[in-house]
Amino acid sequence: MGEKDMSEKILEDYNDVFSDIVNVLLFHGQELIEPSALESISVHSQYKGEDAKLHEQERDVAKKWKRYNVQLAIIGIENQTAVEKKMPFRLIGYDGASYKSQLQANAASIAPVVTIVLYFGEKHWCKERNIKSLMNIPKELDPYVNDYKMEVFEIAWLTDEQLEMFKSDFKVVARFFVNKRRDPDYVADDPTEIQHVDEVLKLLSVMTGDRDYEKVICDEMKGQVKSMCDVAERLKNIGRQEGRSEERINAVKFAISLGASEEKILKQYSKEEYEKALALMKA
């Protein structure tokens, strides 16, 4: 996620959400992966660069899929808000690091590695999805160059049928982005109860670039936010409060322009409002 990477828990870290995403997007709704069959693994790996120094690369989230203590696969999920031209190369690096770690651990058998990209943009992914299409390969060499294809799922373009398959909080997230794409003025009205409210709001904040969702988290900590309907109501209140704040600062600016003294202004307004008004007038 680049700047979007967060040290704290992200929504897909929860096994119920991770398994739900994979079951719907890869297995078309079949519940092949149970949350209890997933085990979190390190998202950090190291490689030696041209400067001979060790560099670290980091996935968004990755988990082992196990059955009867047998590792079946390693699955990774990457979140993207923007199209990245060379994304296939980044993913092959992640997958290669996962294979290498299995070799270094002397695994009895090597489990397959699958990485999927969740793309939250409103427009279709317009760049290539495999590495061969991103290279100029001499035709004589082409038959010998292995390809790598990445799987991109355009969340805002999921069908209604796909949305109905989700059973976790990701259903709320996916429905939000689909509705936003269909109607830019869409106001969240989903009454579905959210289990991981804090992580859903952080994901929405990061993927939309709207920091107001982070402000709602303060209410969530008090248990006041349980659905997107509650979120919409809090956002309205935040807008009203910010509108009133702007009105008060404009009033202070007007008072200053009329020559009112600081002492007189501070009888009705706060020191912070006075200083903000002064700063705006000097800008």
Rounded CA separation 272/88 (Å):
49
Interval 23-34 mean pLDDT: 97
Q: Which amino acid is at 15?
A: N
Q: Which of 7, 16, 17, 11 is nearest to 199 (CA)?
A: 11
pLDDT digits (tens, 9 = 90+) for 192-223: 888 998 899 889 888 888 777 777 766 555 56
The domain defined by 2-189 carries CATH number 3.40.50: no
Interval 112-127 mean pLDDT: 96
Radius of gyration of the chain (CA): 24
Q: Which of 133, 134, 129 is nearest to 153 (CA)?
A: 129
The pTM of this model reads: 0.77
Q: Which of 195, 223, 225 is nearest to 212 (CA)?
A: 225
Q: Domain residue spans in the chain?
A: 2-189
Rounded CA separation 43/107 (Å):
19
Flag whether pLDDT at 248 surpasses 90: no
Tokens of 90: 């980044």
pLDDT of amino acid 153:
98
Strand-pairing partners, residue 77, are 61, 116
Q: DSSP characters for 24-43? A: HHTTTT---S-GGGEEE---
Q: Which of 283, 277, 280 is nearest to 252 (CA)?
A: 277
Rounded CA separation 200/94 (Å):
25
Rounded CA separation 246/103 (Å):
60
pLDDT of amino acid 54:
38
Using CA atoms, how far residue 8 sits from 61, 168, 194, in Å, is 12, 20, 19
Flag whether pLDDT at 51 surpasses 70: no
